[in-house]
Amino acid sequence: MSLFDPDKSAERLPVTLITGFLGSGKTTLLNRVLGDPRMARSLVLVNEFGEVGLDHLFMEQVGSDMVLLQSGCVCCTIQGDLDNTLRDIARRRAKDEIPPFDRVLLETTGLADPAPILQLLLNHPMISHDFRLDGVVTTVDAVNGTRQLDEHPEALKQAAVADRLLISKTDLAEIAASAGLRARLGELNPGASLYEIVQGDIDPALLFDSGPFDPSGKSDKVQAWLNPEAHDHVHRDHHDRSRHNAHIASFCLTFEAPLDWDLFNRWLMAVRAAWGDRLLRVKGVLDVVGESRPLVIHGVHRTFHPPTLLTAWPDEDHRSRLVFITRDLDRAAVEASWAEMHEAVLP
């Protein structure tokens, strides 16, 4: 009998976090996609309706904080704490007090640190009962993005935790500046897909199924966010391309032999206890002793989603791979902690 449950994510509402620094184009993006019929049966949570131009869209008031758009999308303001808003929405949906929806898009403020929001979505029992984190989409300003990454920790975190990076204002930026920003984002977060957008003109599908936990097409998604880092476990160049600056780094640990889950879990708990504040994001697909299918883990800081089993391996490579995006935490320290854990259990 398996120690782990299959992925039951499809039973909960997927939530995409849309984040990005001030002026990076989140509101422009939402204004472009809200009227698209492909947004049907979506719930969009925004900070204020006033920031989103809804006047040009036919809408029906369905509450003091909620409107139904012609596209079939429900647009709702965040009132009070996010957890209270989500719990209230789940209650109203269960009682059929609001139009039906199948997914949630959550827009943050430009100065938001995404980590507390991710932790809420991952491990708050009252939230995770009805919602699951599906992924993070981050907008980055091609004109000002490099400076914002240098000067604002929030911008750095927003880009570091993304599953998809949408680079805006490329029509206004110099070609060299855009290319430099793309290269920098690729080093900061090599597992994220990069897209260029102009005036928020994108396929709304880019806002859906952005993370590695969507049941449909899961293997491709897992492979996409693991493979860019897979080469990094053997060689490190003198110029470490995985290090964004003196603070942010990304690296992938690869384990050749199947893992003993009890030992690995004890080590991961120790890593979280020692360096939880420095773990911006951890993702992994693991080959566990006694399991024929891969086990996925995903966490932010000290909060980790319950591990789940995928239906199949994403490719022929069945080695365990664990991707870290960290702040002020060296790869060497993490590797040393694993070695120490192994030594402690040797007879």
What's residue 340's pLDDT? 92
Tell me, rounded to whole angstroms, the distance of Cα 319 from its chain centroid: 23
Query: What average pLDDT does range 252-266 have in this prediction?
Result: 94
Helix, strand, coil percentages (3-state) for the chain, rounded to 5, are 35, 25, 40
pLDDT of residue 2: 63
Contacts of 67 (CB under 8 A, 6+ apart): 49, 54, 59, 60, 61, 74, 75, 76
- Mean pLDDT, residues 327-334 taken together: 91
* Residues facing 5 on adjacent strands: 308
Comparing CA positions, the residue from 191, 189, 102 lying closest to residue 140 is 189
Q: CA–CA separation, 57 vs 73, rounded Å?
A: 11
Closest CA to 196 of 250, 134, 143, 133: 143
Contact status, residue 297 vs residue 304, Cβ threshold 8 Å: yes
Q: Is the pLDDT of residue 98 over 80?
A: yes
Does domain 5-207 fall into CATH 3.30.70.20?
A: no
The reply to whether 5-207 and 218-345 are identical in fold is no
Residue written as token pair 């989140």: 26
Of the segments 29-33, 154-158, 243-247, which one has the largest average pLDDT value?
A: 154-158
What single-letter DSSP state applies at residue 288? B
Residue 1 scores a pLDDT above 70: no
Is residue 330 pLDDT above 80, yes or no?
yes
Can you give the residue ranges of every domain in the chain?
5-207, 218-345
Of the two residues 67 and 49, the one the predictor is more confident about is: 67
Q: Does residue 285 surpass a pLDDT of 60?
A: yes
Give the whole-number percent of the chain exceeding pLDDT 90.
36
Go through the chain and tell me how many residues it has.
347
Asked which of 5-9, 216-220, 228-232, 316-320 is least confident by mean pLDDT, the reply is 228-232
What's domain 218-345's architecture? 2-Layer Sandwich (3.30)
> Each residue of 100-134: pLDDT tens digit?
999 999 998 888 889 888 888 887 888 988 998 88
Q: Are 258 and 288 in contact (CB under 8 A)?
A: yes
Model confidence band, residue 18 (pLDDT cutoffs 50, 70, 90)? very high
pLDDT single digits (tens) 209-239 = 887 655 556 667 677 777 654 444 333 333 4
pLDDT(301) > 60: yes
- At 337 the pLDDT is 96
Predicted pLDDT at 219: 67
Structure tokens at 120: 């809420």
- 126 residue type, one letter: M
Q: How far apart are CA 91 and CA 83, in angstroms?
A: 12
Residues 6 or more apart whose Cβ sits within 8 Å of residue 55: none
Angle ∠(207,23,61) on CA atoms, nearest 5: 60
| Sequence-separated contacts (24+) of 239-244 with Cβ below 8 Å | 241/187, 242/187, 242/190, 242/331, 243/187, 244/149, 244/156, 244/160, 244/184, 244/187, 244/188
Give per-residue pLDDT as tens, 70-96: 888 888 888 778 888 999 999 999 999
- pLDDT, tens digit, for every residue of 150-187? 999 999 999 999 999 999 988 888 898 899 999 999 88
320 three-class SS: strand
Q: What is the pLDDT of residue 62?
A: 77
What pLDDT was estimated at residue 232? Answer: 45
Measured in whole angstroms, how far is the alpha carbon of residue 344 from the centre of its chain? Answer: 34
Average pLDDT, the chain: 84
Secondary structure tally for the chain: helices H, strands E:
10, 16
Q: Where are the alpha helices (DSSP H) in 124-260?
A: 125-128, 145-151, 153-160, 175-188, 218-230
248 contacts 152 by C-beta, under 8 angstroms: no
